[in-house]
Amino acid sequence: MEQFPVDTPVNDAVAELIRAGVRAVIDAPPEWIDELNAAALSGAGMQPVAGDSQLLEVALRINAGNLSHWAAVNMVEPGARVPVAITEEARAYIRDLARRGFDSGSLDSFRTAQNVAWRLWMQICFGLTDDPVLLRELLEVTSASITQFIDDTVRALAELIETARAELAADTHAQRRAAVALVLEGAPIAKDRAERQLRYRLDGPHTAMVLIGDPSTPPEELEATCESIMEASGVTRRLVVVSGASELWVWLPTAEVALGEASLGEVASRHPGVRVAIGSAGEDRDGFRTSHFQALAVRRLLRRSRSSRRVARYEQVRLVVLLGEDPAAADEFVASTLGELRAADEQVLACVREWFASGCRVSETASALFTHRNTVLRRLARADSLLPTPLRENAVHVAVALELLDWVA
């Protein structure tokens, strides 16, 4: 059939037939929609999309929206060139395709759905008129309209997806951030695709870290700190995402970081301008996410802590994270529990903390502090005199309040 020029005026009889056909499309039976959806999934570039429930749902919704858009325009202006309708959902869909590594081949669904839509439309047309002249013109006009609309739509979306892919390809860290964001969001990105984009395996153990540089710390010092921790931990691989000018997100494929506190302390002393927040070790994709969120929680504590600590593990501060999410409530608890002890001499505070750490045994406390037993007793007595409630009557609350005081109060 010779291509009918789009935007060529159509006579009134054909225009009314187009409107009648559009009404039939609007009232199409469910099995027609099912056939269109099946066709949309059969395209060569649609297999990865069909395996991603989130993308699939959006793709089918966009196809249905395009059909409704074509019908609405032809109801008003039969045979007119239908303008492309790129919705915000379609733009987000294209960005998601690019982030997952898809190219314009994933737009095949529009072509395969077009073929089925045209066959169903012809069935409608043959039921509208027996006049061969009108039928021929009806088919020519609508064929040109449908083809032009699909061509315009695919061209516009292909430009968007190639632009998005070029932007990602131009920035390796942006590409990694995009893939990491999908994993952290719990998006159903295929494991092998995520690993290719990250160049990092998602199975096995993971320990996440967040490295934060002080304002005057050069970015390369963050990298040097990461290398020191890897060396101390016996790890040779890592995933690094640049989160900001002075922050790195790091994942190490290990359940052990820096082996012990002595090693971590040595790393911190070599890189005094960097603070390190470490999550608990986790397994596989869930562990990748959980360990990172724990490291972020530790980072928040390090940023607002009055302590001089530069390195902290989630296991050390789990209780503080749990109780310190509301700083105002935490401050009120510390003030009411510690009373004047809150502003006491650091030697007194250190003595009480060590007393708790030593199982509330005076001799062990004295040994740990390298001081005399009587000195410990005097400092504990001093703490008792400053507390609203005696130490032994409120030991649990005092221990918790002292921990909060060091981090968030």
Question: Residue 279: which CATH number?
Answer: 3.30.70.2730
Say what the pLDDT of residue 199 is. 86
Say what the pLDDT of residue 408 is. 64
Residues 265 and 348 in one domain: no
For residue 337, the enclosing domain spans 327-407
Say what the pLDDT of residue 2 is. 43
Q: Which residue has the higher pLDDT, 137 or 50?
A: 137
* Residue 198 belongs to some domain of the structure: yes
Residues 333 and 225 in one domain: no
Per cent of the chain over pLDDT 70 is 88
Asked which of 118, 134, 169 is the last residue of a domain, the reply is 169
> Mean pLDDT over residues 57-62, rounded?
82
Residues 162 and 301 in one domain: no
pTM exceeding 0.75: no
Question: What does each C-alpha distance from 133 to 22, 130, 329 come to in angstroms?
Answer: 20, 9, 81
Helix (H, G, I), strand (E, B) or coil at 206: strand
Say what the pLDDT of residue 30 is. 83
Asked which of 318, 337, 363 is the last residue of a domain, the reply is 318
Q: Which residue has the higher pLDDT, 75 or 91?
A: 75
Q: What is the pLDDT of residues 157-208, one digit of tens each?
A: 888 888 877 766 655 666 678 888 889 988 878 888 888 888 899 999 999 9
Would you tell me how many other CB atoms lie within 10 Å of the CB of residue 287? 22
Q: How many domains does the chain have?
A: 3
Do the bridges between strand 274-278 and strand 311-313 make them parallel or antiparallel, or are there none, so unpaired? parallel
Assess contact for 368 and 354: CB atoms under 8 A: yes
* Residue 46 belongs to some domain of the structure: yes
Residues 200 and 68 in one domain: no
Helix (H, G, I), strand (E, B) or coil at 238: coil
Query: With 50 as the cut, is the pLDDT of residue 295 above it?
Result: yes
Rounded Cα distance, 189 and 187, in Å: 6
Residues 153 and 74 in one domain: yes
99 Cα distance to chain centroid? 12
Residues 160 and 23 in one domain: yes
Question: Residue 93: which CATH number?
Answer: 1.10.490
Rounded Cα distance, 241 and 53, in Å: 27
Asked which of 263, 287, 318 is the last residue of a domain, the reply is 318
Where are the extended beta strands (E) located within 301-373?
A: 311-313
Assess contact for 274 and 217: CB atoms under 8 A: yes
Residues 27 and 153 in one domain: yes
* Closest by Cα among 380, 224, 408, 398 to 301: 408
Q: What is the pLDDT of residues 89-113, one digit of tens each?
A: 888 788 777 767 677 777 776 777 7
**What are the residues whose beta carbons fall under 8 Å from the beta carbon of 73, sequence distance 6 or more?**
80, 82, 83
